[in-house]
Amino acid sequence: MATKLSIRVYSSAIRKHIHDHHQLFFPLLGGATCVISQESYKVGLGQCVLYPAGIEHYCIPDDNSKYLVVDLDELPEKLQDFEHLVVPVPPPLQAFIYFAEKQLDYHVNTSLEKSMGELVEELLRELDFQPRVDPRIARVMAFFERDPSSSASLDELSSLAGLSLSQFKALFKKHTGKTPGGFLRDLRMEKAKALLVNTDYPIGIIAEMVGYFDASSFSHRFSSHFGFPPRNFRRE
């Protein structure tokens, strides 16, 4: 089987099942609780979960969620050493996921979809996936995920992590490659992009949902991040 990409939208929990190929599961909007061999994992935007071949698993999707699924016959060598089943997605792969989502939504042509399968194989061979995030830092990341409009101070975030301010800032940078503020800004942009593409909410409402209460500031930040203004991400 050639590597296959598909968009999935689930309205209810997926029953336990096993398949003879490997599967990578990338949230595009919302998240999910994934259960693999009776171990439960929460996965959200910017993360990936691996369903190994021959292992029983199921998924409980969040409301109004959407996912990109990659089916693979063989795992690239780096993924064979996948110590943890849920990991942050490297930025180059995250950018490819956005591109793939648009192409699969519009079904441009089947040869392009085949080429995307080959390209994702190459990316998976070349990219390094980060190790599992320290639970204390993961707690703050989950807080941001639940409320991207948060204006919590560094002191409040370090308290949430149970670390001193200096320990928190150093450990957050080590595990995410970003400052807490930089991580939150990037998360807000990814959330905003997903809402622009997949909902009909007015741009002003989306801006407020991700923590921007001035439309022009949101538009400027979005354009700086993606290279296009928010309206360009709306479906025609």
* Helix/strand/coil (H/E/C) assignment for every residue in 36-75: ECCEEEEECCCEEEEECCCCCEEEEECCCCEEEEEEECCC
Report how far residue 69's alpha carbon sits from residue 147's, in angstroms, rounded to the nearest whole number: 25
Contact between residue 46 and residue 94 where contact means Cβ atoms under 8 Å apart: yes
- 28 lies in the same domain as 61: yes
According to the model, what pLDDT value does residue 42 have?
A: 80
Cα 67 vs. chain centroid, distance in angstroms? 9
Place of tokens 């089943």: 85
Is 197 within a domain? Answer: yes
Report how far residue 187's alpha carbon sits from residue 142's, in angstroms, rounded to the nearest whole number: 11
- 175 lies in the same domain as 110: no
Contact between residue 110 and residue 97 where contact means Cβ atoms under 8 Å apart: no
**Two structure tokens written together for 207:** 């801006």
Is 87 within a domain? Answer: yes
Residues 113-143, buried b or exposed e (16+ Cβ, 10 A)?
Answer: beebbeebbeebeebebeeebbebbbebbbb
Is 138 within a domain? Answer: no
Contact between residue 207 and residue 218 where contact means Cβ atoms under 8 Å apart: yes
Is 131 within a domain? Answer: no
Q: Give pTM, 2 decimals.
A: 0.61
Helix (H) or strand (E) holding 34: strand 32-36
Question: Which residues contact residue 216 at a Cβ distance below 8 angstroms, ignoring those fewer than 6 apart?
Answer: none
CATH number for position 58 = 2.60.120.10
- 10 lies in the same domain as 99: yes
- 54 lies in the same domain as 165: no
- pLDDT per residue, tens digit, the chain (236 aa), is 678 898 988 877 778 889 899 999 998 888 888 888 878 888 887 788 888 889 898 888 888 788 999 999 888 777 776 656 787 788 788 888 888 888 887 776 777 777 888 888 888 888 777 656 787 888 888 788 778 888 999 999 999 999 999 999 999 998 888 899 999 998 899 888 888 877 888 999 999 999 999 989 999 999 999 888 998 877 54
- 107 lies in the same domain as 22: yes
| Domain span holding position 101 | 4-126
